[in-house]
Structure 1
Amino acid sequence: MSWRKFLLGVGVGAATALLLQTQLSKEHISAEKALKLAKEAFKKSGPIEGSWINTGKETFDADGIIHDVYRGGISKVKDGKLSHFEFVISAKTGTLIEVNEE
């Protein structure tokens, strides 16, 4: 086997690994991106005072459909009083699945 064929094989292997890694990482959005999307949705009804998100994904059953999700929270002033909301957001699409006011 010549060095040229060996180096070509290594290059093709590295390129394939990089492409595969890129595709697998696109399967889910990051927790930071999910929080940004949630904040954009909440900002439509007024300013936000604070926010948080768990960076670990978990599974969530919504009417028999299992989702990979992030859990987070938003604090905002509602009717002159600070209100807290917890949300569940899809780790795949960034869609809010559930919102509960505490």
Structure 2
Amino acid sequence: MKMKDFALGVVTGLAAAVIIKEMSERVSPYLSPNNILTTIKDEFKKQAPIDGSWIYMKTEQFNNGFTETPVYRGGISRMMDGEMENFEFAADARSGAVVELKKV
């Protein structure tokens, strides 16, 4: 095998990997809802144990008055000082950042 043929194969393989990665991000540009929920639960666990949690697996549009952002909606319940607290949240589907948090 000539070095030129080997180098051509390596370059072709790298180019194909980059193209596949870019295409997969375009097909699903959002983070996994389970990963987002895990991150949010970890932040809540710093204050008190979690009793339950949920997240919708489909995105919806969230309007904050300036822009529309695709979000996942979900909720967390926990016991705090002997009382049940329930929270609902909207998390940015691209970054996972919480854009809305309400105590219900």
TM-score grouping bracket, smaller chain normalisation = 0.7 to 0.9
Structure with more contact order per residue of length (Cα contacts < 8 Å, sep ≥ 6): 1
For residue 78 of structure 1, report the CA deviation from its aligned partner. Answer: 1.5
**Which aligned runs of 4 or more in structure 1 are off by greater than 6 angstroms?**
none
What TM-score do you get using the length of structure 1 for normalisation?
Answer: 0.77
Report the secondary structure of 2:48's partner residue: coil
Match of 1:96 in 2: 98
Aligned residues: 92
Segment drifting more, 51-60 vs 34-43: 34-43
Q: Aligned to 1:50, which of 49, 52, 62? A: 52
SS in 2 for 1:56: coil
Q: What CA distance in whole angstroms lies between the structure 1 residues aligned with 2:38 and 2:54?
A: 10
Paired residue for 2:80, among 74, 78, 81?
A: 78
* Secondary structure, counterpart of 2:26 in structure 1: helix
2:31 corresponds to which of 7, 29, 32: 29
Q: How much does 1:17 deviate?
A: 5.8
Could you tell me which amino acid in structure 2 is paired with residue 69 of structure 1?
V
Cα RMSD after superposing both structures: 2.3
Structure 1 gaps of 5+ residues are 1-10
Gap regions ≥5 residues in structure 2: 1-11
In 2, distance between residues paired with 1:83 and 1:65? 30
